[in-house]
Amino acid sequence: MAIIAGAAIAGSLMLRAQMMTPNNKLRMAEAAISQLYVDTVNEDKLVEEAIRGMLESLDPHSVYSTPEETKELNEPLQGNFSGIGITFNMNKDTLYVIQTVAGGPSERIGVLAGDRIISVNDTSIAGVKMKNSDIMKRLRGPKGTKVNVKVLRRQNAATDTLDFVITRADIPIYSVDAAYMADPKTGYIRINRFAAETHKEVVKAIKDLKKQGMTQLILDLVDNGGGYLNAASDLLGELLEPGSLAVYTEGLNSPRYDLRARPSKRTPLFADGPLVVMVNQYSASASEITSGAIQDWDRGVIVGRRTFGKGLVQRPVPFPDGSMMRLTVAHYYTPTGRDIQKPYDKGDSKKYAKDILDRFNHGELMHADSIKYIDSLKVETLVSKRPIYGGGGIYPDRFVPLDTSENTLYYRKVMAKGLINQFVVGYVDSHRKKLLKEYKTAQDFTDRFSVSDDMLATLKEMADKEGVDYNAEQAERSRPLFAMVIKALIARDIYDNAAYFRVFNSYDPIYKEALRLINSPDEYKAILSK
């Protein structure tokens, strides 16, 4: 009977072949597999793999995500999640609290920086080599729910074990990492992503900096992988003249759509005054929209290296089970009409992923004369009529090479073992009170603190114990890099993320060139008037 039934189904499928369309064909294939296949089939997985297979034959940015993956993707862009409100690091299989979120549930109940959380809801998380993602699942949860944590706290020579019951709450995820005055007239703002709250955060940062005397601004988009299109156009509303075209999108099935600069108030917060935008090869998508519009309108100078080159717009297509397909529906274009999407071969995501490595191997990241400009994609800026190029990212107005001389094999091996983090955790544990007493502010710490020879010697001893082969020449060459990372991490642990970037920027070549250029008015103006 089974054979007869199977033959009947097959015959039915053959009769319907006369009405064949791609959609019907896909449904028939799934039906045939589920009803005729020799073994048990997981239909959900089968359909997911079919969707992934279809998308993989398209562009590199059309992707499918499971419900869990979708939640993880959306969380940083939505601006908050529910949890206990800590920033943590794993040090020797133990959760070490770096900071508590100001006003968050952990701070309110008395958890302190430096505490070690050793168990969650009676489940030990210390010394069991648990993944960060597994720990986060235990700490996060619906708003209003409670979680029991056991904390190990070291105070002077004593060690106390404390129990806390923490009520989870909405925890903000900030997209502005740092905002501070670089000098008496130069403000600095670093944005790590373009999310739902980015515009509000930047508006607050600009207002605060202007109160401190800011008349010129460095906007740091280095390593910023993008985010929401509207977040970029909203930000441009504060930097361009009202009504200026910020970006437009267009696709085969998506008619042209213009996004214009619309400030939160009638007058943009910073449409005048020198502006430098920092970018690198990992600045993508909304970062390229922002830097591209600023360049097109001759509003500011772009400093760094050619950006990633993502000029495709994805539309979320949610499914009832919480999964989602992000489907490319259009290209976006800068105000001059530049399509900055780098070339790709459909279905060849591996080659696309190797692009940055290829740039490195070809010398483009280290030498300005290795950058290839495509004359057919040359356009003129909208005000000064100076030449700029499309097709593969935003090309900087002032190139800053990547310097890898201090990034030695010895340094990378020490980093790979997590030894710098371990050292910093131990150092801050022993010196927190002393550091806060001696350095009242993050700027004071940045100006006066230095990493000692003894500190570096202790790090070497830790590396020796972990079996890292010592190389004296490489260790000496990497000395400034070791010292900077240690100092920056201490600053973050003692103060906040902004303190980390105060230290890091004093070392970073892109930042140093941006600061030099913005304080060289004749050179700045010359770039914009070429």
Hey, how many other C-beta atoms are within 10 angstroms of the C-beta on 348? 13
Can you read off the two tokens belonging to residue 122?
Answer: 């009676």
229-236 vs 286-296: helix crossing angle, rounded to 10: 30
Q: Using the structure block, give the residue that is written with the tokens 């235990």.
A: 138
Q: How far apart are the first and last CA of the chain?
A: 83
**459, 483 in Cβ contact below 8 A?**
no
Torsion angle of C-alpha atoms 329, 334, 340, 345, degrees rounded to 10: 20
**153, 115 in Cβ contact below 8 A?**
yes
Taking the C-alpha atoms of residue 351 and residue 152, their distance in angstroms, rounded to an integer, is 48
Residues recognised as catalytic: 285, 296, 310
**216, 274 in Cβ contact below 8 A?**
yes
Taking the C-alpha atoms of residue 250 and residue 263, their distance in angstroms, rounded to an integer, is 24
Taking the C-alpha atoms of residue 507 and residue 485, their distance in angstroms, rounded to an integer, is 10
Strands 398-399 and 301-304: parallel
Strands 245-251 and 216-220: unpaired
Beta pairing partners, 474: none
